[in-house]
Structure 1
Amino acid sequence: MKIVADEGVDAPIVARLRAEGHEVLYVAELAPGLRDQEVVALAKEREALLLTTDKDFGELVFLQGLVPGGVMLLRLEGLKPEEKWARVVWALQEHGSQLAQAFSVLTGKGLRIRKLP
């Protein structure tokens, strides 16, 4: 799967996704400080799922109509690094096809998926 990981995503998550065979473009490596609108444009251009920890992307998607290939908001505070990447890998394996054109929220307890307009 093609993924754009915003710079707030933990590096161990990015490393694990790459090890699982996903094509991950990591903003922290590419262009730290990239504006949110540019991150969305990058994900849209690459037809990639955007992984982020930044709730502001919900506003960009729902209020401003900027629609990438899908957004997964990670709300995994308090989990150990291996638990975080395990949750992300699980979500992609079990629900990958549902994440396209959707705004999803992944927590330590579950995954909510809302299709984009």
Structure 2
Amino acid sequence: MGEQSPGWSDWQVLAHAVSENRVVVSNDKDFGELVFKNHLSHCGIVLLRLEDERIENKITVLNRFLANFLEPITPLHFIVLTEKAMRITLVKSNE
């Protein structure tokens, strides 16, 4: 989405993703602050923390994740992916 709308702030990207019920996939750590510190709504976040930022590596890591993560990504999920590991943090509801 950021590529589709350059210049959007992170909160604008997040709000747009929520309005379309989409998961955000990004390498921008600021989404963690928006979710955990500011408690903004989301439909799931996948944060890429990769040593190799080439697009081919991003696709490989995402494909591996999607092949192994069999449940739907929900607003409870904040997922961090590296080349070697996956960490899932469940986000507490604001309610």
TM-score (norm 2): 0.84
Aligned in 2, Cα 1:96/1:58: closer, same or farther, shift over 3 Å?
A: farther
The answer to which structure has the higher strand fraction is 1
| Aligned-partner Cα distance in 1 for 2:29–2:2 | 16
TM-score (norm 1): 0.70
| Aligned-partner Cα distance in 2 for 1:112–1:63 | 19
Aligned in 2, Cα 1:89/1:39: closer, same or farther, shift over 3 Å?
A: same
Moved segments of 4+, more than 6 Å: none
The number of residues matched between the two structures is: 91
Aligned in 2, Cα 1:44/1:95: closer, same or farther, shift over 3 Å?
A: same
Between the aligned residues of both structures, percent identity stands at 35
Aligned to 2:62: 88
2:50 maps to a residue whose letter is L
The answer to which structure has the higher helix fraction is 1
Q: Mark the runs of 5 or more structure 1 residues left unpaired by the alignment.
A: 1-25
| C-alpha displacement of 1:85 | 0.8
Aligned to 2:78: 103
Q: Mark the runs of 5 or more structure 2 residues left unpaired by the alignment.
A: none
| C-alpha displacement of 1:110 | 1.1
Aligned in 2, Cα 1:96/1:67: closer, same or farther, shift over 3 Å?
A: farther
